[in-house]
Amino acid sequence: MVSLKGTQTEKNILTAFSGESQARNRYTFFASAAKKDGYVQISDIFTETASQEKEHAERLFKFLQGGDVEIVAAFPAGTISDTVTNLVGAASGEHHEYTVMYPQFANIAEKEGFGEIAQVMRAIAVAEEFHERRFLDFVKNIKEGRVFKREETTTWRCRNCGYIHQGMGAPDKCPACAHDRAYFELLGINW
């Protein structure tokens, strides 16, 4: 591979790495807030997404070739808030990454002769688009009161013990392990 040293792509990788690293920490903070708000599934999704952001950061970091790189960048300096506000802020960041940042960075990488880096950036953008969609779906569910209730009989699973419940809503307490409603989610069988 051609040397990255001194290229715009090197700066873009470090900018993206910094953004992914900060998103990872923000999502970890947001996971704690969601759990306190009574949304264990959303807490776990923030934790899962934080882990995925770490993987993006690590993949990008491995392209760097050492030394100091000076970048000028702006990053969200928001606060940890209620779950809806945190989800909306997270979705906004993901939207920027997959619609603006990664497409621009990938195009520059390609022009500078870094095809593999461009492909990786475009692939990361695909994940970021899914992150945004999932965060916005949770916002909608919270606002519509659909996190623990549905209009039709549905299968609910306790995330703590695996108890399965059929009904239009999750039970107030799990009859198997006594954890409260916050631990229930819609059962999604994907195998």
Span 68-92, pLDDT tens digits: 888 888 888 879 999 999 999 999 9
**Structural domains of the chain sorted by starting position, each given as residue range(s) with its CATH number in brackets:** 8-143 (1.20.1260.10), 149-186 (2.20.28.10)
> Edge-to-edge, what's the strand order for the sheet holding 149-158?
164-169, 149-158, 184-186
As a whole number of angstroms, the distance between CA 87 and CA 27 comes to 9
Confidence check: pLDDT of 20 > 90: yes
Cβ neighbors of 170 (< 8 A, separation 6 or more) are: 148, 149, 156, 181, 184, 185
Span 36-65, pLDDT tens digits: 999 999 999 999 999 999 999 999 999 998
Q: Is 20 exposed, middle or buried (0-12, 13-18, 19+ CB in 10 A)?
A: buried
Confidence check: pLDDT of 33 > 90: yes
Indicate the SS3 state at residue 167. Answer: strand
